Amino acid sequence: MKKVTELVAELAAPVADANGCKLWDVEYVREAGQWYLRLYIDKDGGVDILDCEAISRSVSDLLDEADPIEGSYIFEVSSAGAERPLKRPGDFAQFMGSPVLLKTYQPRDGRKEFAGVLAGYENGAVTVDMNGSPLRFEKNEIALVRLRVEW
């Protein structure tokens, strides 16, 4: 049986494409006692409120029809954001050479956050170049990798 996020992604991706956007991620999480279904979208030049509204209306209708989630939830559509998390191999390929922040589950050399440039991705392992010193992190060490905006 498919996960809720996979079912919703199958419904939402064609709608995002039809609206000139790309479905970046789907999340179904419980926060403060309430379930949230969130779609994150992206497009060249950036996402605006009209993109979010159009996709929200269309996907909401599809969700009402397909009814893939039992119970109530709050449905949101938003931009993936400038500091979006990287999760899939394609995300890492797209942003190779970009500034990232990598967080680990356990401290390495006394710290759990490593800021640098994305220098490699292989079977879930991530290499971050930190001022000319590449550090490789295995998949099981990594809690999060996200883009980092430099000001």
Per-residue pLDDT reduced to its tens digit, 139-150: 999 999 999 998
Helices 49-66 and 4-18, packing angle to 10 deg: 130
Which tokens go with 13?
């991706």
Domain 89-147 falls in which CATH fold?
SH3 type barrels. (2.30.30)
* Of 62, 61, 43, nearest in space to 52 by CA: 43
Domain 4-79 falls in which CATH fold?
GMP Synthetase; Chain A, domain 3 (3.30.300)
Angle at 68 between CA 82 and CA 49, to 5 degrees: 30
| Rounded Cα distance, 129 and 131, in Å | 6
pLDDT value of position 101: 97
pTM of the predicted model, to two decimals?
Answer: 0.84
